[in-house]
A and B are shown apart, each in its own frame.
Chain A
């Protein structure tokens, strides 16, 4: 009796109730509903047509272009965030600098997008700068460049944080040891620092790539709908066409893509990295 009481005390299943409730209500139910709706056509008949339709050329190319832009956004975010995070670990007032990088992510996405409409406008500050150095005014807004620039700007804090955390956790003694044993700074970086911080990079990639696949506010405001992603298509199917079946089908594929990305960048990769040494 006594033993049992002690056992239930240490792992009281009661504490798990809120967790399970949350998971069932806000994770499992929505996914189940989305999957369920994806099997119905616009007039409510059970069908696989939505899936057949997804493999038509429009949606396949839409998927490819979403992936391409998400890839570019992730790559550039990584290229900017890694050196930033590395430099952050070396500075004196780490937390202050970190805070400065994080603060922009507290501002609503729409506000930032509207601000960039002004900044990139034909008569906005960016073009005024160009004009002042004698260049012609350029069409910056509604281009691939502006789309990727603004997306990278928005995602950078989410890439910096995990990389900074894993770099900051590296024991400096390991780096000293590497140098003592005669490794150059480049070798130290590629053989010691980079492998030790790889999990931060993977987490950063997940946090950026997955939302980048389904951006839709920025595609309209900053890219003028000349870049369209799976997110645009879902929004349109639900709000305009009222074809919940097709919208759900695209969402199901988006969830599948996300699971695949999580698997690629997840635990398995971590052990692989252990073998590298």
Chain B
């Protein structure tokens, strides 16, 4: 008993010392003290140096948290536990958040750097007039592959994934809309289909992909491809860029039948505490130099025209990551299909995982 008491006291003492040290460290990092902002973003989706730069320039302390799906983000914003001041959801999530009245309108007069953004990415159907959202990054869904591990296969068509030579080589991203959408696209249907017949056909076709599927995972895909554990992956363009950054053998292709074109945007949730700080942060991220540095670091495509002029033309001229407007024609943006349809997509995805042919 005595020793337990002694051990507990020691633990409490050590915790107290650690807390003190942490508070010292935090003090030195916030120079001015214009409060704090909570930023809620996807994992590996910002250059951490820029966060420090923002803190230095404005004196605002940034508390940074990450999420791994739009749905998880919305659930947390809705529950309210933490009041996030800025978040970066995708377009269909913004539609849904608008419907559920979770967004705070953005005062565009305060976003002076908005002029840096390519007009193509402004005033899009999911948020006319950019009342609630400011573009952050955009990209596509496609196939990352490593030709050095393959016998010359190319991926011009989704059906190439079904090639018998790819047994146990294909990694899929663990996300219902991407995978079911790929099944729909491969049959020539829209990836926003709500037709049960089409969805059933797509799911049945996906099941036959089973023998080629190595795994269905999340962010671990990048590591797997970098280390050449797998040769082919269905993934987002920026994840592919991450892989290619480390492993130069990897290539990326968006199949001809069409695919998904997505936009991630900065928003201010209704529950935000520091509206001023949020506006400052958004405006800071749109600065040409900041956006260029961020795009270099993250690897996704920036909608910031002024930043593109500062970047390596080899990067911004790469049509795999910056497809021309003409190429974007055959890509589709996700529509908000409603919770019920999302439930059906997920149930079909679950069925696919269970019934994959071995």
Contacts and interface: CB of A to CB of B under 8 A. Distances in A.
A142 B215 contact: yes
B347 interface: yes
B214 A236 contact: no
A246 B346 CA distance: 12
B346 A240 contact: yes
Interface residues of B, number: 30
A47 to B, nearest CB: 13
A61 B354 contact: yes
Given A42-B339, A241-B342, A117 B220 contact: yes
B69 A236 contact: no
A228 B69 contact: no
Given A220-B217, A224-B214, A225-B217, A239 B69 contact: yes
Contact of B215 (A42, A224, A237, A246): A224
A142 B176 CA distance: 19
Contact of B216 (A42, A226, A246): A226
A58 interface: yes
B80 interface: no
Given A42-B339, A42-B343, A220-B174, A240 B71 contact: yes
B209 to A, nearest CB: 12
B75 A239 contact: yes
Contacts of A42: 339-340, 343
Contacts of A237: 346
A220 B171 CA distance: 12
B215 A228 contact: no
A178 interface: no
A62 interface: yes
A139 B168 contact: yes
A105 interface: no
B5 interface: no
Contacts of A58: 347, 350-351, 354
Contact of A228 (B228, B339, B350): B350
A62 B75 contact: no
B200 interface: no
Interface residues of A, number: 31
B174 A225 contact: yes
Contacts of A223: 215
A211 to B, nearest CB: 21
B339 A225 contact: no
A187 interface: no
Interface in A206-238: 220-221, 223-226, 228, 232-233, 236-238
Contact of A226 (B213, B220, B350): B213
Contact of B214 (A139, A228, A239): A139
Nearest to A220: B217
A228 B356 CA distance: 12
A226 B339 contact: no
Contact of A242 (B75, B215, B217, B354): B75
Nearest to B214: A142
A46 B74 CA distance: 24
B229 interface: yes
B216 A121 contact: no
Contact of A123 (B174, B220, B227): B227
Contacts of A242: 71, 74-75, 339, 342
Contacts of B217: 220-221, 224-225
A122 interface: yes
Contacts of B356: 226
A166 interface: no
Contacts of A241: 71, 339, 342-343, 346
Interface in B159-185: 168, 171, 174, 176
Nearest to B339: A42
A224 B350 contact: no
Interface in A61-88: 61-62, 65
Contacts of B216: 220, 224-226
Nearest to A53: B347
B104 interface: no
A228 B75 contact: no
B72 interface: yes
A243 interface: yes
Contacts of A65: 354
Residue among A224, A236, A239, A246 having the largest count of chain B Cβ atoms under 10 Å? A224
A220 B218 contact: yes
B353 interface: yes
B218 A239 contact: no
- 5 closest A-B pairs by CB: A224-B215, A225-B216, A142-B215, A240-B71, A241-B346
Given A123-B227, A220-B216, A226-B215, 14 more contacts: A58-B350, A58-B354, A61-B354, A121-B229, A122-B227, A122-B229, A139-B214, A142-B214, A221-B220, A223-B215, A240-B346, A241-B339, A241-B343, A242-B71
29 contacts: A42-B343, A43-B340, A58-B350, A58-B351, A58-B354, A61-B354, A62-B350, A62-B354, A122-B227, A122-B229, A123-B227, A141-B215, A220-B216, A220-B217, A220-B218, A224-B217, A225-B174, A225-B216, A225-B353, A226-B213, A226-B356, A236-B350, A238-B75, A239-B71, A240-B346, A241-B71, A241-B339, A241-B343, A243-B339
